[in-house]
């Protein structure tokens, strides 16, 4: 497994901050091809157990091959990370990891349509629950398209791009990555269009897979399924995800949500987390050089009280 598509991001920091019980039970909630899982298991004793979850059956099959040397210490589930409560039932974990990024394996799969560098059908599906990007682009109104591009892509030219999408689909349906890319390029005019293209593709992918809703659901559930002292680690790759994780961790560390002018707490909400990463952890330049997809990674970790 020496290709770049299998290099886990910030692996040393993930293991250092996540694994504090070498005989414990851990969950890799977005296992992918098993890079982080392999490192976590390698940091534990033969008593450590790991549950690998992923909605991508192709990636999970690669993880099975990669982690075969660990035998019965690993269990695999083909499913969604925000359904973690269904998979754990009454069991509690000593650490839970969620790596929210697309793998190079997914980006390179021409059938997925994630990359604007390859001409492919605009699928962008991470699993069976995904909504259709092609249907959205060819039926949604200009306002709805602009709101999605602005909200999930933080693209300031969202209105212009949405207008040109609606105009561009009149002759024939928009179905491929290059067709969409061409529309965005025309919308930008002069200058480098790549940042805007990237933001539009990000927005549509997030919308299609309900990524922010899934993340919010996962965070709430994951805290409930940690043992005291257990740790929750999240690797995010864009500002929307990172802000959500940061805000959630701060709220759970604060506890009480009563207005500051209340003489005493009436909400009854208790602190549940202690933040271990006072500042977000970013990859080193050395790691970025060896694994370019690590460039945008942000790691935050908190401990269950």
Query: What pLDDT is recorded for position 22?
Result: 97
Query: What pLDDT is recorded for position 29?
Result: 98
Q: Which residues of the chain have pLDDT under 70?
A: 1-6, 103-110
For the chain, where are the alpha helices, taking DSSP H only?
A: 11-18, 35-42, 57-66, 84-88, 104-108, 133-139, 142-153, 158-168, 177-188, 194-209, 211-224, 239-254, 285-290
CATH topology of domain 132-209: DNA polymerase; domain 1 (1.10.150)
Choose among 65, 62, 43, 46: nearest CA to 54: 62
Query: What pLDDT is recorded for position 7?
Result: 76
> 209-243 pLDDT, tens per residue?
999 999 999 999 999 999 999 999 999 999 999 99
Query: What pLDDT is recorded for position 31?
Result: 96
> 183-202 pLDDT, tens per residue?
999 999 888 999 999 999 99
State both tokens at 46.
Answer: 């033969």
Query: What pLDDT is recorded for position 292?
Result: 83
Domain boundaries, the chain: 4-105+211-304, 132-209
Query: What pLDDT is recorded for position 2?
Result: 32
Q: Which CATH superfamily is domain 4-105+211-304 in?
A: Vaccinia Virus protein VP39 (3.40.50.150)
Whole-structure pTM value: 0.91
């Amino acid at each position: 497994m020496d290709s770049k598509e299998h290099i886990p991001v910030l692996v040393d920091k993930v293991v250092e901050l996540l694994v504090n019980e070498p005989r414990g039970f851990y969950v890799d909630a977005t296992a992918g091809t098993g890079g982080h899982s392999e490192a976590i298991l390698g940091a534990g004793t033969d008593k450590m157990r790991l549950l690998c979850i992923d909605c991508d059956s192709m990636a999970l099959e690669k993880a099975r091959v990669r982690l075969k040397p660990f035998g019965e210490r690993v269990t695999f589930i083909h499913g969604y990370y925000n359904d973690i409560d269904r998979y754990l039932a009454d069991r509690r974990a000593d650490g839970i990891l969620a790596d929210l990024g697309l793998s190079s394996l997914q980006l390179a799969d021409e059938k997925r349509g994630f990359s604007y560098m390859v001409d492919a059908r605009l699928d962008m599906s991470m699993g069976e629950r995904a909504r259709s990007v092609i249907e959205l682009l060819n039926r949604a109104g200009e306002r709805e398209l602009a709101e999605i591009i602005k909200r999930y892509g933080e693209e300031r030219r969202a209105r212009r791009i949405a207008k040109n999408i609606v105009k561009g689909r009149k002759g024939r349906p928009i179905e491929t990555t290059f067709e969409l890319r061409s529309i965005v390029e025309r919308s930008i005019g002069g200058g480098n269009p790549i940042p805007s293209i990237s933001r539009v593709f990000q927005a549509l992918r997030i919308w299609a897979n309900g990524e922010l809703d899934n993340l919010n659901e996962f965070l709430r559930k994951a805290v409930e399924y940690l043992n005291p002292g257990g740790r929750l680690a999240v690797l995010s790759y864009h500002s929307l995800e990172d802000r959500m994780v940061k805000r959630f961790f701060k709220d759970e560390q604060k506890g009480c949500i009563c207005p500051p002018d209340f003489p005493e707490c009436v909400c009854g909400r208790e602190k549940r987390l202690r933040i271990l990463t006072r500042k977000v952890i970013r990859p080193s330049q050395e790691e970025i050089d060896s694994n370019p997809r690590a460039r945008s990674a942000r790691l935050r970790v908190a401990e269950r009280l």
